[in-house]
Amino acid sequence: MYQIYPRSFQDSNGDGEGDLPGAISRLQYLRDLGIDAIWLSPFYTSPNKDGGYDISNPRDVDPRFGTLSDAAKLINNAHQFGLKVIVDIVPNHFSTEHAWFKEAINSPIGSSARARFHFHHGRGVHGEIPPNNWCSLFGGSAWTQIRERDGTLGQWYLHLFDSTQADLNWECNEVIEDFDKTLRFWLNLGVDGFRIDVAHGLVKENILQDHSDPEGLTKALRLDITEIPRDLRESLLADVPFFDREGVHEIYRHWRKILDSFEGTRMSVAEALVRPRSRATRYVRKDELHQIFNFDFLTADWTKESLIGLISQTLFELSEVLAPPTWVLCNHDSPRIASRLGGGEIGLKRARALALLIHALPGSIYIYQGEELGLPNADVPDNLRQDPVFFRSSGVDKGRDGARVPLPWESNLLNFGFSSGSPWLPIPPNWTVFAADQQNSPESTLSLYKLSLKIRSSHPGLKNDSEPDVSKSINWIDSPPGIVSFKRNAGFVLFANTLSTPIELSLAKYGLKGARILVSSTDGCRIEGQALIIAPDSCVWLSTEVS
């Protein structure tokens, strides 16, 4: 899967923002990369207060991205290239510009229009205190007070994210029926499935009760926050009153029936950060969703112990429900992997090595646009930032703009060929080295991705096992400290060096015959006689007979 963040992928009309015709123009690039499917972040009608995730009409295309005809053309053209298409669905909230919310604030307290959202009276003598102390994941309170029709301060509405994103009440039948329409609308247009935003957030419990540490919980829930200790993070995530409640599973059983009623294979993948991790498997039981994002690699340490532990745990837990694993290094909500792993040359080396590692794992890989170019986070000037996280935190939290900067396509063109107009976020002028047209050499990150994906799809040792128990799909090799190593099926072995020094291993010691290197993340990995030299912060694939 390749994630397209449409606003930053390719602009076709010079307005500085990517669009659907722009994405259509790059389908050949995507096919040549070697992917199987694209996932499109929201392109629906939206005031764009949160990058399109504040939707005012989920069954139409926002003019900034094109038209409904453009969406149909993108789906059809992608299919002609042999690519599946999944699109975002955002069931946790609607934009406050949605017709429903406008109706709600102009309707009386207790009306059916307000029942579609979470409206509650405030606390205090005059209702001036929010109904509880929950924090928005974007900073500040999770509640905003409205003015009633007579001009007086009135009820409060819940928004786990920006104040322009009002949470929907999934106990309301109208909400259920409206999303049924949305699913069927896009399935009828030809999409192959959905990525479900905040999939674990639809059902809330104890909505009028305070949380013991609301600010700590907010930090724990953010994928790009590293300041909170891991133990405290896990403790806070173990019980979130507005996430991972039992009621969400009834919703997804209903959605699965809709998906299965359409011809062909239609799939679903949940964005749901839940703890303990074992609870994630509940979303992919045979009568619910097909996949759930595994966010472990978005925060994983570059150490042998961390990597083996996370991979083993993921495979074991999913084996209990016979569901395929997913592997994600970064997305539009998290720091780019090259920056998270140290930045600069060392960060890119580790990012390439980790990419090669997950490309060898069974299941599905999700690649965020620009990851294949080795892009780091961009340093966006504060006066140009647009993420609501930045504004709601008064600039303390820089937000996610650095991972959303438009892609550099061609080094010698204005704005790197992304747009003939001024990009909505500035592309760093020193990104020439990352431009797609500069990555034709075998040593480039783009070439590495192309080669590894090609080998992944063709090498018999890397094909997904017919054995549904994914915990049996890799065999760990006992290796020295700092070295991650495993076998996959016949003739494939992987070694990854997480240390800052090169490691030399005896191939004979590991019973490897006729070993040859398929691909390595750096040119410092080589075979000399019967010795395998693994460069620092690198990964290498071997094809060999195994004795």
Go through 403-424 and write b for each residue having 16 or more CB atoms within 10 A of its CB, e for each that does not.
Answer: bbbbbbbebeeebbbbbeeebb
The single-letter DSSP state of residue 135 is: B
271 is catalytic: yes
Q: Is 150 a catalytic residue?
A: no
What span, in angstroms and rounded, lies between the C-alpha atoms of 402 and 365?
Answer: 23
Helix, strand or coil, per DSSP, at residue 345? helix
State the virtual CA torsion across 191, 60, 119, 140 in degrees, nearest 10. 80
Q: Which two tokens stand for residue 324?
A: 């395929």
Written as six digits, the tokens of 389 are 């996280």
Of the residues 197, 244, 296, 401, only one is catalytic, namely 197
Rounded Cα distance between 224 and 138, Å, is 12
Positive/negative CA dihedral, 459, 460, 465, 466: positive
- Six-digit token pair at 528? 């000399």
Bond prior to 276 in cis (omega within 30° of 0):
yes
Query: Whose CA is closest to 18, among 37, 38, 42, 34?
Result: 42
Q: How far apart are CA 467 and CA 475, in angstroms?
A: 14
Which one of 62, 70, 271, 371 is the catalytic residue? 271
The label of the residue with tokens 């570059």 reads: 302
For 121, 205, 246, 341, 428, the CA distances from 233, given in Å and listed in that order, are: 31, 21, 22, 20, 34
The answer to whether 83 and 27 have CB atoms below 8 angstroms apart is yes
1 Cβ contact list (under 8 Å, min separation 6)? 35, 36, 37, 38, 39, 86, 364, 365, 366, 367
Question: What span, in angstroms and rounded, lies between the C-alpha atoms of 457 and 6?
Answer: 27
* Helices vs strands, H then E, count in the chain: 13, 23
Residues with a catalytic annotation lie at 197, 271
